[in-house]
């Protein structure tokens, strides 16, 4: 009964706080550079570069071709499609030591598995949000110093003008929530959210202090519809909703987004000259999952690159493209024949086709809201 009440409360609150505005292109072509922070949803190779490993050949097979991708997807991510939309090059990872790309048009600090909270010994990624912000500050300091020594380097590195007028993008928080459910109750997860967002705001404050003025924030998606979550927390069918998603995880994501939206509306009041855009990723992805057939997808939760067959085709002991022993049996997780028919790639991450769908909906402007300090 308490969960039902929370669901109704969230629905009423969110319907009044997340606007679906009349369509207008929400991301400007005028940003000279883009600096991105996040997790695997927008990691273009940071974790693989930082920890020194290659993903299985299945990753990147649709577009980038292995082993050059470093993306936890079969092809392009939402951030890649957004860069295409504003005619900017794909973002080079901060820790990428070998590449044909320069950093002139921006840099990507997002790393798979990262959290807003500080990483600990059990974390998949050591590059938490605070570390990513520190990396940016170091990056900017070194770049400005180098350009002061040699102006020719502006051909390859962002100038002070680019840092000041660039777009700062964020897609992070999913792992904080997903990870918390392994050791906390539903109520404890909800109680943790204000602390998570305090840490997020601290990062925004540090970036503002470095001259950042244009902020683009994605909320988090429907965690309960990921095969990894369903396989672990959906064994009790009473925990699933009518679409096969884990209710508690999705309610926590909505609660997180509600508070993130509140923070978004407060931030411009604190930072003169700032511009904030909030993008409702949850609504776009939920629409895709619930109405996947209408959009040309055959499978909303079952993964493309996995093993075990329906309903999930997922085994958390056998990662995409790998062969491993699970429950005494040797299994291989292979990619499906046509990934364009699947929303989910490997149980956690979306396919390129799904990422394209999400991006196209972002670009309508119907799922975003922008607030500037001058408008207050």
Both tokens of 216, joined, read: 């683009």
**Is the link from the previous residue into 82 a cis peptide, with omega within 30 of 0?**
no
**40 an active-site residue?**
yes
Contacts of 278 (CB under 8 A, 6+ apart): 217, 219, 260, 261, 264, 368, 369, 370, 371
For strand 323-326 and strand 329-332, is the pairing parallel, antiparallel, or unpaired? antiparallel
Whether 275 and 286 have beta carbons less than 8 Å apart is answered as no
Q: Choosing from 171, 248, 280, 346, which is the catalytic residue?
A: 346
The pair phi, psi for residue 261, each rounded to 5°, is: -65, -40
Are 300 and 289 in contact by the 8 Å Cβ rule? The answer is: yes
**179 vs 49, 265, 344, CA distance in Å?**
23, 27, 19
Nearest C-alpha neighbor of 249 from the set 282, 297, 213: 282
Active site residue 148: no
H-helix segments, 158-225:
160-165, 174-180, 186-209
Pairing of strands 214-218, 342-344: unpaired
DSSP string, 323-361: EEEETTEEEE-B--S-GGGEEESSSSSB-HHHHHHHHHH
Name the catalytic one among 40, 58, 114, 300: 40
Number of H helices, E strands in the chain: 11, 10
Clarify whether 349 is annotated catalytic. Answer: yes
The rounded distance, in Å, linking the Cα atoms of 322 and 133 is 33
Distance CA(24)–CA(220), nearest Å, equals: 22
Choose the catalytic residue: 218, 292, 299, 349: 349
Structure tokens at 55: 């993903």
Catalytic positions, written as ranges: 40, 346, 349
């Amino acid at each position: 009964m308490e969960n039902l009440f929370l669901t109704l409360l969230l629905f009423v609150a969110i319907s009044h706080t997340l606007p679906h505005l009349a369509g207008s292109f929400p991301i400007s072509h005028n940003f000279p550079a883009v600096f991105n922070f996040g997790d695997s949803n927008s990691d273009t190779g940071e974790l693989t570069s930082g920890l020194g490993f290659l993903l299985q050949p299945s990753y990147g097979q649709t577009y980038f071709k292995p082993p050059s991708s470093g993306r936890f997807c079969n092809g392009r991510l939402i951030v890649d499609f957004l860069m295409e939309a504003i005619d900017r090059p794909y973002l080079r990872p901060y820790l990428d030591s070998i590449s044909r790309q320069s950093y002139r048009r921006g840099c990507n600090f997002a790393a798979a598995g990262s959290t807003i909270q500080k990483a600990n010994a059990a974390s998949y990624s050591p590059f938490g949000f605070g570390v990513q912000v520190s990396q940016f500050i170091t990056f900017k300091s070194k770049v400005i110093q180098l350009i002061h020594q040699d102006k020719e380097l502006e051909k390859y590195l962002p100038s002070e003008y680019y840092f000041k007028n660039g777009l700062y993008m964020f897609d992070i928080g999913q792992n904080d929530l997903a990870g918390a459910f392994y050791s906390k109750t539903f109520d404890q997860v909800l109680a943790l959210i204000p602390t998570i967002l305090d840490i997020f705001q601290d990062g925004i404050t540090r970036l503002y202090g470095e001259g950042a003025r244009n902020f683009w924030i994605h909320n988090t998606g429907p965690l309960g519809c990921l095969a990894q979550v369903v396989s672990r927390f959906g064994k009790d069918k009473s925990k699933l909703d009518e679409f096969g998603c884990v209710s508690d995880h999705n309610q926590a994501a909505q609660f997180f987004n509600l508070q993130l939206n509140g923070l978004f509306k407060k931030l411009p009041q604190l930072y003169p000259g700032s511009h904030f855009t909030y993008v409702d990723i949850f609504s776009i992805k939920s629409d895709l999952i619930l109405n996947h057939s209408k959009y040309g997808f055959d499978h909303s939760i079952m993964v493309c690159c996995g093993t075990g067959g329906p309903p999930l085709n997922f085994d958390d002991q056998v990662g995409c493209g790998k062969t491993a022993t699970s429950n005494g049996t040797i299994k291989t997780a292979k990619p499906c024949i046509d990934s364009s028919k699947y929303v989910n790639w490997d149980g956690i991450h979306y396919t390129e086709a799904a990422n394209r769908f999400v991006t196209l909906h972002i670009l309508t402007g119907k799922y975003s809201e922008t607030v500037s300090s001058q408008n207050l």
